[in-house]
Structure 1
Amino acid sequence: MTHPAVIQTQALILAGEIAEAESQLVAIAETQGDQALVSILDEMAPKDLLAIMREFDSSKESVINLVVSPEQFVDAILLERKYGEPLEKYVPRLRNTMNAVMHRGAGACIEILECLTERDEGIRLLADYFTDYYDLLQNFAFHGRFEDDFDLEKAMAPKRTHSFDAEQFDEMEQGLEAGDSMELARPSMSRSEVADGDWMETAWVLRHEFQDSFELLIIEIQDRMRREMEAAHVPPPVVAGEPGVPKIQEDEEESAI
């Protein structure tokens, strides 16, 4: 039998009373305990749970984000891709919602990523999550750091300028078709150095704990960048380096004059 709280919460969500729906669930946790709330969340439709979590992220916390299980969360967050929102609205909302749960505690990021990477759409969702940071993520993948001289504030700034050229994409794809594996660098920094509770820490955990999934993520990102370049019909810059490995720009050499 469906719990009365589930029916009531669903009705409030349909009426657009998201804050009231969240308050009803919080009241259950306060009176009956967190486990009772987890049981109710398990009965809720993922779309209803997502409706609440979208309104309460790391900037506006809710007990829902603190107690939702990895399975419940992933079932809900995967629906984000179906809303069809403009990218500039979708990506920040997705990142904020994911950060609120993934970085709620020391082990939460591993638990969420483990569940997420097991799903068919998991890698695509992660690629959405890292939108605006593709170049920095690839630097981290192939060089073990986000930038030459790591600067937390600079690294967190969104960047949309991509450095891969079409020839590098072709060579990378040929290598993958031949069954070759990417040569990914180990992180050259500790988790504490990138503990931002945001995309950099997520990238570190993903690279450190889920190497195969991280490699698939890089492939997905490179494919998106290639399609973006082809769609733009912009002659790509020529960048020297190993096939499939973006080269970190070195400091300009001093003039000999």
Structure 2
Amino acid sequence: MNVLSLISTKGGVGKTTVAANLGGVLVDAGLRVLLLDLDSQPALSSYYALCASREAGSYELIAQRLTTPGQVISTTVIQHLDLIVSNDRAGNISTLLLHAADGRLRLRNLLPAFQDQLAHSCGQGSSIYALGLARFLQGDMMSACHLLFPQLENSLRHVLSDSGIDTSKLDEEMLQEDRSLSGLLSNRREQLESVFGIDLIYTIDLLFNLKGSPCLRHELAHGKLASGTCYLHSSIYACWLMYYLVCLPLQRFWSTHVAPQLERISL
């Protein structure tokens, strides 16, 4: 776990803006980020919309040494970007730490409690996804297919791993390696169906894996995906399906967070 502090005794120098945007960039790069707002003017705490807000915040963390993630960590609408809100408008934390024997070291000693919360990366393909979806919406199907299709396999592994499900196997030499798409669909199908549903997993299997189907994953992996194939209905639908998978986590927040932002941008 890496800790980065943004500190200045002068107000209005951009601490909140830098912290919020740096957190977003790091999440996009595939890291889990926990923002900790210790400012008595809690601008960072309201920078990102929350989908799960906790009553406890920085005061309980520092004053009461409360480090239970479910009690002190609020969840933003951006996956893997979490926040401990500032709730010390009276500025009591500074006075408390000034007179505490461990005042200078307390926060440093408390932060390791969140190591497990930040231990796993959230995948390195987000920028590739973004570029692939942009090419898809632009009608450049050749680029879209070559960018998006390889991401499916690792994305399924990532979702399963996030749910505590092992996605690896031992090869003939007893070395651990990741399961392929076909391996996941045959050996972890029940778990995949519990997350995505039977119909969606069947569609993925039909498009990317089953023999006699378009078999897009194998065609691309073996260099046999012809340029014309990228413009067939099966490839276009597969790209749309990848877009749908990206949007799935947003569905439960659509009416409360996504739609209002889209409406605001359109005005």
With the shorter chain as reference, the TM-score category is under 0.3
**Greater per-residue strand proportion:** 2
- Larger radius of gyration, structure 1 or 2? 2
